[in-house]
Amino acid sequence: MQPQLFQQREGVAAVQGDFIRRVYNWMGLGLALTALAAFYTTSNPYLLRFIFGNSLVFFGLIIGELALVIVLSAAIQRLPASTATLLFFLYSALNGLTLSVIFLAYTRTSIASTFFVTAGTFAVTSFYGYTTHRDLTSWGSFFFMGLIGIILASVVNIFLKSPMVYWLVTYAGILIFVGLAAYDTQRLKEMALAGFADDETARRSAVLGALALYLDFINLFLMLLRIMGNRRD
């Protein structure tokens, strides 16, 4: 009985590990595509003028990104896995176009150092979410409400232009996205434990999981960049 129980546990761990690896592979590819798109945009003066010289284009890209996130989140189970993957990569590329603005605002050295700090922080919190036996479900609701709060505060501060609100949102945002990284990792682990009907479903779920972790990573990076980034003269 004991050997059978051990083999069962090993089998579950293998399934979970395989799924999480797929999620991280898609997430890593998405981040790489975002970086390439951002680098290409900053090296192309025409593209920079086209995106940032016309507010309609810039906000059109932002709306397009939001639409892709909504479609992927709401319709993932009805989409073929190949379409879901394509939409995820399209979102990653569009995000790179709009995020290229950070290379105009901050030095490349500070962007690189912030990226590595973000990667280390994200790895530690994600590892905690994967290995802890503590149920983080209640954390998810708390951090989601916090996320809504910082979004609303950020929108209001566009008009207030308050430095205090800016820094409160920044530090609260860091805590929220660190918490979401741990929560989303545990949620994905539990999703793998429940099993998938077929490989197509598993791949769609891996893409959706990659999107969640990608968003946690990017937003954590942007919040840390506010603190660690050195502005260009």
Per-position DSSP letters for 129-179, written without gaps between them: HHH--S--HHHHHHHHHHHHHHHHHHHHHHHH--HHHHHHHHHHHHHHHHH
Instruction: Answer for the pair 208, 72: CB distance below 8 angstroms, yes or no.
Output: yes
Instruction: Answer for the pair 81, 207: CB distance below 8 angstroms, yes or no.
Output: yes
Residue recorded with tokens 């896995």: 81
Around Cβ 211, how many Cβ atoms within 10 Å? 25
Q: pLDDT confidence of 1, banded at 50, 70, 90?
A: very low
| pLDDT above 90 (res 230) | yes
Rounded-to-integer distance, Cα 145 and Cα 138, Å: 11
Which token pair is 100? Answer: 């290229």
Using DSSP's 3-state secondary structure scheme, residue 231 falls into strand
pLDDT at residue 120, as a whole number? 97
Q: How many residues does the chain have?
A: 233
Q: Is the dihedral of CA 207, 208, 209, 213 positive or negative?
A: positive
* pTM, to two decimals: 0.93
Q: Is the dihedral of CA 220, 67, 81, 78 positive or negative?
A: positive
User: Averaged over 47-69, what is the pLDDT?
Assistant: 94
Q: What is the mean pLDDT of the chain?
A: 91
| pLDDT above 70 (res 164) | yes
pLDDT at residue 72, as a whole number? 93
Q: Is the dihedral of CA 183, 184, 190, 193 positive or negative?
A: negative
Cα dihedral: 13, 218, 173, 227 (round 10): 120
How far out from the chain centre does Cα 188 lie?
Answer: 14
User: Averaged over 27-33, what is the pLDDT?
Assistant: 98
**What phi and psi, each to the nearest 5 degrees, are found at residue 231?**
-70, 145
